[in-house]
Structure 1
Amino acid sequence: MEPPSAPPCRVSVPWQGLLLSVSLLTFWNLPTTAQLTIESVPANAVEGSDVLLLAHNLPENLQGYYWYKGESAMDNQQIALYVIATQETRPGSVYSGREKIYPNGSLLFQNVTQNDTGFYTLQTLNISLHKELASVQLHVYAELPKPFITSNNSSPLEGEDSVALMCEPETQDTTYLWWINGHSLLESDRLKLSESNRTLTLLNVTRNDTGPFECGTWNPMARTPPSYPPQTHISVQGPTSTSPAKRPLTQQHNILGFSMSGPSHPHKSSLSPTSLQIIADPTPASSTTLPLASIGPQSRTLQSLSW
């Protein structure tokens, strides 16, 4: 007699689980469409240069492009409309004549200024009248002039007066840096920087505050100086002779030297900026004299690097 056969095994799967699996598979297999984006080339621009606002991942079946100033599509901020079929550009209310739209939707900005800094928006329109938007931020920086230092007190009294040194000129989006005796500035109880770092204040000056002081300016478009800048000799009238160590500079700099006059004992004396004569090698005939208060017949020579 044969043994009875085992009953077939049946597995019950809830219909909700099957429906969820099918839904997930359908979602994973859906084609993905890349989002419209705009890229600023270059990311940071200097005044007077050209900038391309490059469009990426354009939708299909387009009939036109709209460019706007700002982060939205406002008619009163429209730069221009580009009609693809006729390759025609129709200027908008804020069109300046420096903008050019290409067939791929990109916008060329010519001879940019700091007033052009801000957001720009591209709106695409397809044959079904569907619109897509993308924005980009444009940064335009001024080309930095060579800095120089001014002082608010030419004859401060030791232990009593303060001196404010200001790095000039003032420019937008600029970082100001300071050095004393060739070293980066460290704030102390007697050395204070303004919020913007443009002004360095020396409180209760002493004969140890004679400098030299240097300021530098930087922004994202600052040019890298030469690897071997020309040496600059600075002749300063004063009681002693010294030569601070040379160091490489990475930004534009200007030097203002101070010299002490008066008795050597620790009583009040006068701290005055001296006359500086800056002579750039290798042409000694090319010089710049900064007329400041003269101290005495003796002189000292300081050396530093500049360009």
Structure 2
Amino acid sequence: MGETRGRVPHVLLLALIQGVLSSSTVEVLPSENPACAGNMVTLTLSPATQLQSGSWAVGGTQILTWSGGQQAVFPSHNGRASVNVSTGTLTLTSITVADSGVFVVQSTSPQLTATSTLTVLEPVSALRLVANNTGNLVEFKSSVSLFCSSSGSSLSYRWLNGNSEVTASDGIQLGDGNSTLTIVNVTRYNDGPFRCNAFNAVSNGTTEPLHLNISYGPDGVSFTVNRLNTTTSFLIGSTLTMSCSAQSNPQAEFQWAFNGKHLNGTSPDLKLYSAVESQSGLYSCLAFNNRTMSNSNVTRQITISSGSVSVQLGVSVWLVLLLSSLAGVLF
């Protein structure tokens, strides 16, 4: 009897140990975290624990209590909260951003307290992309800003030009949390299509593509004759088609000149039918862009002849070779 008086009864000791272990080892696991507004979330105890009674609260606001098979939901969560009276699992439906906070479950049978922080985010919606200028841009002279707007919580933004991500660099500025893209002194390669991708931990969305109309050129002017780049000598009576092209937006206008004198017409092609020797000379093509107010030109020397000199020279060479061979036979 003296020995048992100083001891804690075995059953009570076991209950105390279980209570301490439950308080220190039980975790609350949300079914998703962060959670998307509008969804249903469950908060489950792990490891699974049989609870006879308890309560749930968030941020100091009571959600519900239960005892045995009965539960009572407080007005703040009426119609949206319920508990499994055996396991203590809390179910919340139609969650909102206001449901974010520290959730606390308490029980007296067994004795435990466990917490979990839940974050609820609004998904990306109403995504929109606009520019302060889309059609009056001139290469190396104009700047443009693109603005991405969206509803949602804790949003991040990234930009795409075609399939490539756009990052801050020389001439590229990102501002307002990356929701604004500014291009300083645009180039022809900044025409897009641009898209804005907005995202958070529970959702993402991408805008429709936006194209910029950037005027540039003319440059890279090319001058061909009968589709050839190198041939400049032609026989009398030939038909010549001189063609001029340039890299330009909008398309360049063309002006031809012969020996410095302007010719009529603005076509990219100039044709000579049954060419005569007097049409030999310097032909120039001037490409002009009336949006950029820039121009570029190229000039080629075209020679038109009978070709008789070449024929006579060829005959003379043939005769010399023939006479030489005959002299070898005779002597």
Q: TM-score range by the shorter chain?
A: 0.5 to 0.7
Cα contact 2:139–2:214 (8 A) shared by 1: no
Instruction: Give how far 1:67 is off.
Output: 0.7
> What is residue 27 of structure 2 aligned with on the other side?
37
Amino acid at match of 1:168: S
List 4+ stretches of structure 1 deviating above 6 A.
Answer: none
Structure 1: which 5+ runs fail to align? Answer: 1-29, 224-250, 266-270, 273-294, 296-307
Query: Identity of counterpart residues, as a percentage?
Result: 24
Instruction: Give how far 1:133 is off.
Output: 1.8
- Cα distance in 1 for residues equivalent to 2:78 and 2:190: 52
> What is residue 255 of structure 1 aligned with on the other side?
209
> What is residue 101 of structure 1 aligned with on the other side?
83
Which deviates more from structure 2 when the two are superposed, residues 157-166 or residues 178-187? 157-166
- Cα distance in 1 for residues equivalent to 2:77 and 2:42: 16
Cα contact 2:83–2:91 (8 A) shared by 1: yes
Amino acid at match of 2:43: L
Q: CA RMSD in A?
A: 3.2
Q: Which has the higher helix share?
A: 2
Instruction: Give how far 1:163 is off.
Output: 1.6
- TM superposition score normalised by structure 1: 0.56
- TM superposition score normalised by structure 2: 0.53
| Residues 260-303 of structure 1: per-residue CA shift (max 9 Å, x gap) | 237637xxxxx99xxxxxxxxxxxxxxxxxxxxxx9xxxxxxxx
Amino acid at match of 2:94: N
1:139 aligned to 2:119? yes
- Cα distance in 2 for residues equivalent to 1:204 and 1:115: 45
Q: Provide closer, same or farther for how the CA distance between residues 55 and 136 of structure 1 changes in structure 2, counting only shifts above 3 A.
A: same
> What is residue 68 of structure 1 aligned with on the other side?
57
> What is residue 72 of structure 2 aligned with on the other side?
90
User: Where do residues 136-285 of structure 1 align in structure 2 (5 Å cutoff)?
Assistant: 136-145=116-125, 147-154=127-134, 155-156=136-137, 158-222=139-203, 252-261=206-215, 264=218
Amino acid at match of 1:191: I
Instruction: Give how far 1:252 is off.
Output: 3.2
1:53 is matched with which residue: 34, 43, 48?
43
Amino acid at match of 1:69: V
Instruction: Give how far 1:195 is off.
Output: 4.7
Higher relative contact order (CA 8 A, sep 6+): 1
